[in-house]
A and B are shown apart, each in its own frame.
Chain A
Amino acid sequence: MKTFLFILIVIASGAAAGFIHGGMNLIFVEPSLDQAIGIENQHLFASGEEKDTPEFWIKYDGYRMWQKSGQVLAGGILGISIGALFGIIFALSRNSLPGNTDIKKALVLAGIMWLMIYFIPFLKYPANPPTVGDPETVVLRGILYLVFIAISGFGAVGFYKLSKKLKTKKLVAVVGYAAFIGIAFVVMPENPDQITAPMDLVNNFRIMSAFTVSLYWLSLGVILGSLWHHYKPHKEIIPFN
């Protein structure tokens, strides 16, 4: 395998999908974030922590501008990060993935990884907008989320390897994983924070968040699959006389 080309393709596809994700968030998710932060501001005024003055709004606008400009940049960083994991697993499993083209193979893997390390953990610990979340519990919530993703991801790999070793049907691995993650779903503690924001806002935010993350995974599969198909980093040039 051409090492440098492989890494370059993985980073480029992760960055491209990440920028798409960040750009889509500006359109679909930012309105909910602005609304939620508006509620936070009202709480600050009501508690006397801040005063509703022109100075406050100048400071606030600068603060939100910094956060919004970071949306696309952070999209690129997160995109490269998740894309790196995707690239490793794609390279290791490419020969076993179904599909007769690299794009189809990459889309199948993107779908599997979306389900295992994003959507199932999302069902247990759904995304929340600002105003929801106690700063005192952020470390605990971070650990719970990460542990659940790890349980789901390693569980899926474990059951796949087990079914291959025992030479059983893939359905057995799927059923085994479903039972395993079902138990983890019940056993893992709930998010300790109460939702105090309006549920309409929270639900709208969650739908938009899930939509753009799903777009990221779709973009990642298409872009990496296309680049892989075009540049073929798995083919090595071997000289002979």
Chain B
Amino acid sequence: MSQSRQINVSKNGVPVTAIVALAIIFVAGLFVVGFDQGHIFSLVYGEEAFQDLYLHELTHDMRHAAGFPCH
């Protein structure tokens, strides 16, 4: 009678898909908190977003506190 079993083995390989997904998260998150000056919302609201700066104001305090240039 055949019996199906499983073992845990350590693999050194890190999946490329995981690296790509995490790299995208890294760049996007860094841009939102550290550098956006209305760019992201301008994709929906157009030029007005550069005046309103909603995202910039939302991340404003963390931007200063984490050491990113602001104003």
Contact = CB atoms under 8 A, between A and B. Distances in A.
A177 to B, nearest CB: 21
Interface string B8-22: 111111110111011
Interface string A110-138: 00000000100110011111100111001
Interface residues of B, number: 46
Contacts of B28: 81
B48 interface: no
A130 B61 CA distance: 9
B23 A88 contact: yes
A127 B65 CA distance: 7
A33 interface: yes
Contacts of A127: 64-68
B26 A81 contact: yes
Contact of B69 (A22, A69, A145): A145
Contacts of B62: 22, 25, 70-71, 74-75, 78
A223 B23 CA distance: 20
B60 A70 contact: yes
Interface of A: 1, 3, 6-7, 10-11, 21-22, 25, 29-30, 33, 63, 66-71, 73-75, 77-78, 80-82, 84-85, 87-88, 91-92, 95, 118, 121-122, 125-130, 133-135, 138, 141-142, 145, 205, 209, 212-213, 232, 234-241
Interface of B: 2-15, 17-19, 21-23, 25-30, 32-35, 37, 57-71
Sort A-B residue pairs by CB-CB distance and give the 4 closest, nearest first.
A81-B29, A74-B62, A70-B58, A141-B69
10 contacts: A3-B18, A7-B22, A29-B65, A78-B34, A92-B14, A121-B67, A134-B71, A209-B66, A212-B65, A239-B5
